[in-house]
Structure 1
Amino acid sequence: PRTARAAAALATNELRVAYALHPVRLLTRLRAPESVPALITTLQRRLRPHDPYRRVALACVEGLGALGDPRARPVLTEALAHPALAEAAVRALAVLPARG
């Protein structure tokens, strides 16, 4: 649990975005309760126009798809508008459970 909390803190730290790629990938592998909210927060911040951290955003999209949590649907839908993320967002949305 401490590892997941630490990874979530690193992934969402705006002062250390350049170092967020590995914590984002770790959150996906850990599948901890903190993973989905941290990936959603990180992706929301990376959806700004001209954000230089597209690799971090892409890792978030892929991670949210791998975790398959329906809470990710709104941010993944928003990611469809970003050319560098659209294809991965389509794949991630396709694996989310159908809306109840």
Structure 2
Amino acid sequence: MTTPPTPVSGLSDPDYAAFAWRRFRRILGWMAIIAAIFIVAAILVLQHVYGPMGWVAILAVIGGAGGSIMLTAVLMGLIFLSSGTGHDEAVKDID
């Protein structure tokens, strides 16, 4: 006796997976714009408070602030992607 095939859902469905990944990339794009605005504002404030900054300090702000914002955006986006596509619920169906 064979079991009926399970319906394709979540990221297993190619059309829905394309939609979900497109939404994920759009969110990351907006977060990159927000990170860029924050980085420019942070550099301007730091230059106002401490005077002219060297390239190393500017790169440190870009890497530190921008990297932190983008890493947080990627990880939170993946959590929402996993939850929104049903992958979190599919764990209990692993037989």
User: TM-score normalised by the shorter chain: which range applies?
Assistant: under 0.3
Q: Which has the higher helix share?
A: 2
Instruction: Report which of the two structures shows the higher radius of gyration computed on alpha carbons.
Output: 2
Q: TM-score of the superposition, structure 1-length normalised?
A: 0.25
Q: TM-score of the superposition, structure 2-length normalised?
A: 0.26
